[in-house]
Amino acid sequence: MGGTTVSTMKQLDNLSGLKEGAARARRENRPVLVSRTAGIPSLDPLSFFASGARWGARNFWSDPDRELTLVGVGAAWRAEAVPMEDRYRAVEREWEELLANAVREPADPPRGAGPLLLGGFSFDPLRTETPLWEGFSEASFILPRFMLSVRKERCLLTVNARVEPGDDPEEMAEALAEEEEELIRTAATLSVAPSPSSYDAFEVEPERWKESVSEAARHIREENLEKVVLARELRLRSEEPFAAAVILKRLQQRQPGSFLFAMERSDACFLGASPERLVKKDDDRLYSTCLAGTAARGATPEEDRKRGEELLADPKNREEHAVVVHMIAEAFREGCGEVRVPDTPTLYRVRDVQHLFTPVEGRSKPDTTLLAMVRRLHPTPAMGGYPQQAALDRIRETEGMDRGWYAAPLGWLDFRGDGEFICGIRSGLLRGRTASLFAGCGIVGDSDPDSEYEETRMKFRPMLSALGGEGR
């Protein structure tokens, strides 16, 4: 089959939905979303991501088992919420409104395909905004123009378009078919190969950070605060611009067991390999994970096991962890029935560290939406502290940096209301030749500043290694 025939067929596919959408838009005198999903030959998600540079607004998402990978390119529609309103509800409402009169082909696309938003919220809508995070607003979700979904080796392409009253469906179908053809042709031939790169790194006020840890620990001993997470920043500069696709490739190779994410907003990209799920919704099932309490990996299997056992028995880390389990279990009991929480944590090991781990599950009550659960949970004591408000006040007072989207809820939400959000840790913000990496630690009453500092060093490693090429 020749190239012309293929693109003509695609155009026709798009056309029927777009015609229906255009008629509906005219009739109702408002924009209509037209979304078409179809199987395509196998494509490498990272090649698709790299090929999408021209369209911008790229979003990458992959779960820890690599069962589902989503790559969005370009924006057919955006939901952005202003700080003063309930940002979770605002995004939900705009999404529901857009979906209400949408045309879907097929009507019931498989999980992880069809109309789906990718994006995130900032950590703290009351933060003092700095230029560092320009483009990353308090809520920013994108419905991609083109989205590749890879699920159990199967590739699907979703094409989304917003049809305004008066738009010409034939013109739109032609433009979409041309872009789609270019995107897929480039992705099929391009391969993302990491080349060695180098950078200079400097720590932003490490001594001041240690002092803030001592001060926070004192507060916890003396006042009505149980735990607070304090983070710090590492700033890097390279000769060449940092390339998100290459860094994702290294993260993919080196960080099995972690979610991979990349979210591009204007000329910057926030990306990372986070082991921490905030909440996942699959029909009426809800899942969260409590991940808090950290130790190094061992150089040998015996040493690794020994460190894991010590972590499981360590009172300071168990306390850090227990506060998280208590809060997440509580939030689940409010939003769900049949909540299941194991009594004791186990270990979750990723390349550079091991954590205490407790999974939490429940069945959502009929009116419990995914974003309602995000609102209930964020920030958990693994990202903020406990009690929540007192911890946020302490962070604003002592951390002295704009967290932006670091440690914030990032994820996806589909047209059924299913989706998944993670906590945006083990992450960094790329902008041209500079990168800012972030890492934080749960501080409790007997936290020691030097060991917390060492813990942040370990937590920087996944990103440092991914930014710097082989052997780091």
Ligand X SMILES: C=C(O[C@H]1C=CC=C(C(=O)O)[C@@H]1O)C(=O)O
Q: Which of residues 277-336 bind ligand X (CB under 6 A)?
A: 291-294, 320
Name the residue nearer to ligand X (CB basis): 373 or 382: 382
CB of 455 vs Mg ion, minimal distance in Å: 5
Query: Residue 144 interacts with Mg ion (CB under 5 A)?
Result: no
> Distance between CA atoms of 277 and 287, rounded to whole angstroms?
8
User: Which entry of ligand X, Mg ion, none binds 45, CB below 5 to 8 A by partner kind?
Assistant: none
Query: Residue 229 interacts with ligand X (CB under 6 A)?
Result: yes
Burial 411-422 (b: 16+ CB within 10 A, else e): bbbbbbbbbbbb
CB of 169 vs ligand X, minimal distance in Å: 48
- Do the beta carbons of residue 359 and residue 342 sit within 8 Å? yes
Name the residue nearer to ligand X (CB basis): 394 or 426: 426
- Do the beta carbons of residue 356 and residue 293 sit within 8 Å? yes
Nearest to 113 by CA among 60, 46, 58, 158: 158
Query: Residue 442 interacts with Mg ion (CB under 5 A)?
Result: yes
Strand boundaries in 365-462, DSSP class E: 385-386, 409-414, 419-423, 427-431, 434-443
Query: Residue 370 interacts with Mg ion (CB under 5 A)?
Result: no
Token pair, residue 363, equals 């069945």
Query: Residue 459 interacts with ligand X (CB under 6 A)?
Result: yes
Query: Is the Cα torsion angle 379, 381, 383, 384 positive or negative in sign?
Result: positive
Judged by CB under 5 A, which of 90, 350, 408, 441 binds Mg ion?
441
- The residue from 94, 180, 226, 227 that is catalytic is 227
Distances (CA, A) of 414 to 141, 372, 434: 12, 15, 33
Q: Which of residues 289-308 bind Mg ion (CB under 5 A)?
A: 294
Q: Is 80 annotated as a binding residue?
A: no
User: Is 227 among the residues known to form the active site?
Assistant: yes
User: Which entry of Mg ion, ligand X, none binds 272, CB below 5 to 8 A by partner kind?
Assistant: none
- Do the beta carbons of residue 353 and residue 425 sit within 8 Å? no
User: Which entry of ligand X, Mg ion, none binds 440, CB below 5 to 8 A by partner kind?
Assistant: ligand X
Task: Give residue 330's region: left, alpha or beta (phi > 0; psi -120 to 50).
Answer: alpha
User: Is 280 among the residues known to form the active site?
Assistant: no
Q: Is 455 annotated as a binding residue?
A: yes
CB of 439 vs ligand X, minimal distance in Å: 4
Name the residue nearer to ligand X (CB basis): 44 or 420: 420
User: Which entry of Mg ion, ligand X, none binds 425, CB below 5 to 8 A by partner kind?
Assistant: ligand X
Query: Residue 466 interacts with ligand X (CB under 6 A)?
Result: no
> Distance between CA atoms of 152 and 142, rounded to whole angstroms?
24
> What angle do the packed helices 244-254 and 449-468 form, to 10 degrees?
110
Residues acting as catalytic residues:
227, 276
Task: Give the residue ranges of the annotated binding site for Mg(2+).
Answer: 320, 455
| Residues at the contact surface with Mg ion, assessed by CB under 5 A | 294, 441-442
